[in-house]
Amino acid sequence: MANLKEIKRKIGSVKNTAKTTNAMKLVSSAKLRRTEELAKRSRVYAAKLTELLNEIAQKMQQANVDGLDNVYFKEVSKPKTVDIVFITADKGLCGGFNAQTIKRVSQLISDYKAQDVKVRLRAVGRKGVDYFKFNDIELNNEVIGLSAAPDYAQAAEFINEIADSYVNGETDRIILVHNGYVNMITQEIKQDQLLPIHPSKLELKETSTSEMEVEPDDDDTLLDALVKRYVEYTMYYSLIDSLAAEHSARMQAMDAATNNAKEMVKSLTVQYNKARQEAITTELIEIISGMESMK
């Protein structure tokens, strides 16, 4: 009898879990829609900015036979220090979303360690911070709360500090790692080199071979402003992209959890019915055998 009660209690609790996970799924899908919209609108801007910067970089490369001379583009062949900026979520319950990013970062660390390169970690998001702290790996920067609500000014402040240390020569490379949004059911780890900027060798349009005027043409005002903007915006866009991916990952995880819970309720109900039938049969046998013995 105690068994019956036990099963009934279990069914109730699993049903409650299903309710919670289902609610979380709905919340995530609503948030995802909003974040996706935001990401879509910022994507055009980010793409244009990158395009413009690439074009300038290519022009500079053409002018300079030995490669680019500017600090923002100059690739160091043997970096001594590398900064890794990575973005994780503040909350869990989103499947392998955070674990994937952490795994990639850990792999990068060991790769660089093997080359005898000093690695400095800059973490955004509680999950990443917690993981590396727990494993006693030093973090140079940590920001919590930014990945759940991307804010341009805050993102700019965070990344500018790191960019400054690059310009000062404290670090030779800045790498940005985040789990990006591909579509509703897919996320993909994205690893970009933020600085120095890689001029993509993809396309050099014929129309752009003409001479380019630059205003203001004194030293590097335009380029400095453009690079600063590019770095800030890339950081901001990565945050949005990561947030969209987080919501889609959570949606998936919660969908799976709800289905599993429903499945479990089904099998528990079968178990409950079986146990009840068994109890009835036992009772009947007792009654009948009692009657038989009276005869």
Partner 1 sequence: MELMKLEIVTPNGVIFDNEVRQVTLPGSEGEFGVLPKHATLVSLLETGVIEIIKADGKKVAVAINSGYVKVDEEKTTCIVDGAVALSGEGTDLAKALNEAKELLKKAESSSTVIAAAVSKVESIGKTL
- Asked if 294 interacts with partner 1 (CB under 8 A), we say no
Residue 259, CB-side half-sphere exposure with 13 Å CA sphere: 6
Check: CB of residue 185 under 8 Å from CB of residue 248. Answer: yes
Q: How far is the CB of 133 from partner 1 (least distance, A)?
A: 33
Measured in degrees and rounded to the nearest 5, phi and psi for residue 267 equal -70, -30
Calculate the CA dihedral of residues 263, 267, 272, 278 and round it to 10 degrees.
Answer: 170
Q: Out of 9, 41, 103, 198, name the contact with partner 1 by CB under 8 A.
A: 41
- Asked if 44 interacts with partner 1 (CB under 8 A), we say yes
List 18, 85, 94, 156, catalytic entry: 94
- Asked if 221 interacts with partner 1 (CB under 8 A), we say yes
Window 232-251: residues binding partner 1 (CB under 8 A): 233
Q: How far is the CB of 51 from partner 1 (least distance, A)?
A: 8
Q: Out of 226, 264, 265, 275, name the contact with partner 1 by CB under 8 A.
A: 226
Calculate the CA dihedral of residues 199, 181, 97, 118 and round it to 10 degrees.
Answer: 10
DSSP per residue, 216-247: S-STTHHHHHHHHHHHHHHHHHHHHHHHHHHH
Q: Which stretch binds partner 1 (CB under 8 A): 67-75, 167-175, 178-186, 212-220?
A: 212-220
- Which of 199, 178, 177 has the alpha carbon at shortest distance from 69? 199
- Asked if 33 interacts with partner 1 (CB under 8 A), we say no
What 8-state DSSP symbol labels residue 74? Answer: P
What 8-state DSSP symbol labels residue 75? Answer: P
- Asked if 293 interacts with partner 1 (CB under 8 A), we say no
Q: x/- site string to partner 1, residues 252 to 281, per CB under 8 A?
A: ------------------------------
Q: Out of 17, 42, 154, 191, name the contact with partner 1 by CB under 8 A.
A: 42
**How far apart are the C-alpha atoms of 14 and 20, rounded to whole Å?**
10
Q: How far is the CB of 225 from partner 1 (least distance, A)?
A: 6
Q: How far is the CB of 230 from partner 1 (least distance, A)?
A: 10
Q: Out of 136, 138, 215, 292, name the contact with partner 1 by CB under 8 A.
A: 215
- Edge-first strand listing for the sheet containing 186-195: 141-143, 118-124, 81-87, 173-183, 186-195
Q: Which stretch binds partner 1 (CB under 8 A): 15-23, 73-81, 216-224, 247-255?
A: 216-224
**How far apart are the C-alpha atoms of 226 and 222, rounded to whole Å?**
6
Name the strand (E) or helix (H) holding 118.
Answer: strand 118-124
101 class by beta-carbon count within 10 Å (0-12 exposed, 13-18 middle, 19+ buried):
buried
- Asked if 157 interacts with partner 1 (CB under 8 A), we say no
What 8-state DSSP symbol labels residue 191? Answer: E
Window 89-108: residues binding partner 1 (CB under 8 A): none
Q: Does residue 235 have an active-site annotation?
A: no
Q: Which stretch binds partner 1 (CB under 8 A): 51-59, 162-170, 174-182, 249-257?
A: 51-59
Question: Which residues belong to the active site?
Answer: 94
The residues of the shown chain that bind partner 1, judged by CB under 8 A, are 41-42, 44-45, 48-49, 52, 55-56, 152, 207-208, 210-216, 221-222, 225-226, 229, 233
